[in-house]
Amino acid sequence: MNRHKSLGSEWASAAVAAMALLAGCAHHRPPPQFSAAAPFSKTFSGSGDTVCWSVKRALLSQGYMLDRPNDAGVLTGARDAQPTPKLNVTTRLQTTCADNRNGTSIVFVSAEREENALQKMKQTTSVGVGPATLTMPSGSARVLGTVRRETITDPNFYGEFFGLVQNYVNQERLSQATTHSADDADGRSNERPSRLRSETPPRSAPSQSDDLPPPRQ
């Protein structure tokens, strides 16, 4: 009887432990990997030519070195920083721009941050002695090695980038409106002389009687 009670207690303890483990796993479950609220895209009002050119201007204005694009609408750029003498930080951006064919365009962007630091690496020398090969330490050297690499997920980072793109989109729209206004003004000024010429009445031809000499008395 006691044995059955002991087994029952053990089963109950195991069940409680399993439930606690499941609850802990549920509590520490990673966030969803795909979400409509991700900060990596934004839709702009404007044609693909205007928006994509604004994306390129935004990258160039911030000092990003652009790679030659392999695909149309795709731009990849990188920028280096050295916050400390022994640390180098590289930020890489890849943008994709597409025209939605409805007066708007969408821009996708993903940024990666890579940190490289000076590290001490041991160097070795291999020496062949007969049929055997001996490897002996020969000192050390300081080399630049990657210590951290991650995709930037900060919404503020992408918000600032999209805000800069929007600024250039507004400049392009203003420039196009100014150009159209100037073209319309030139067209109207060219129409006025031709209209005036068409509205001027033709001079009447002199009558034949006016050309005859007066009669003799």
The domains located in the chain, with CATH, are: 37-182 (3.30.310)
Rounded CA separation 76/97 (Å): 12
Q: Give the Cα separation of 168 and 96 in Å (integer).
A: 17
| CA separation for the pair 169, 177 (Å, rounded) | 12
Distance CA 159, CA 58 (A): 13
Q: What is the CA radius of gyration of the chain?
A: 39
Quick one: pLDDT at residue 145?
A: 87
Evaluate the CA torsion angle 67, 101, 46, 39 in order and state its sign.
negative
pLDDT in tens, the chain (217 residues): 555 545 456 555 655 555 655 555 555 666 667 888 899 999 999 999 999 999 999 999 999 999 987 788 899 999 999 999 899 999 999 999 999 999 999 999 999 999 999 887 776 666 666 566 666 666 667 777 899 999 999 999 999 999 999 999 999 999 988 887 776 666 666 666 555 555 555 565 555 555 555 555 4
**Residue 78 vs residues 33, 54, 121: alpha-carbon distances, Å:** 25, 17, 27
Question: What three-state secondary structure class fits 217?
Answer: coil
Closest CA to 108 of 40, 170, 190: 40
Q: Which of 47, 50, 79 is nearest to 152 (CA)?
A: 79
Q: How many CA atoms lie within 13 A of 122 on its CB side?
A: 5
Question: Which residue from 142, 145, 141, 86 is spatially nearest to 114, judged by alpha carbons?
Answer: 145
Classify burial at 167, counting beta carbons within 10 Å of its beta carbon; exposed 0-12, middle 13-18, buried 19 or more: middle
Q: State the pLDDT at residue 107.
A: 98
Q: Please list the residues that pair with 94 across neighbouring strands.
A: 76, 110
DSSP string, 97-151: EEE-SSSEEEEEEEEEEEEEEEEEEEEEEEEEETTEEEEEEEEEEEEEEEEEEEE
Instruction: Give the per-residue pLDDT at 80.
Output: 96
> What is the model's pLDDT at position 137?
65
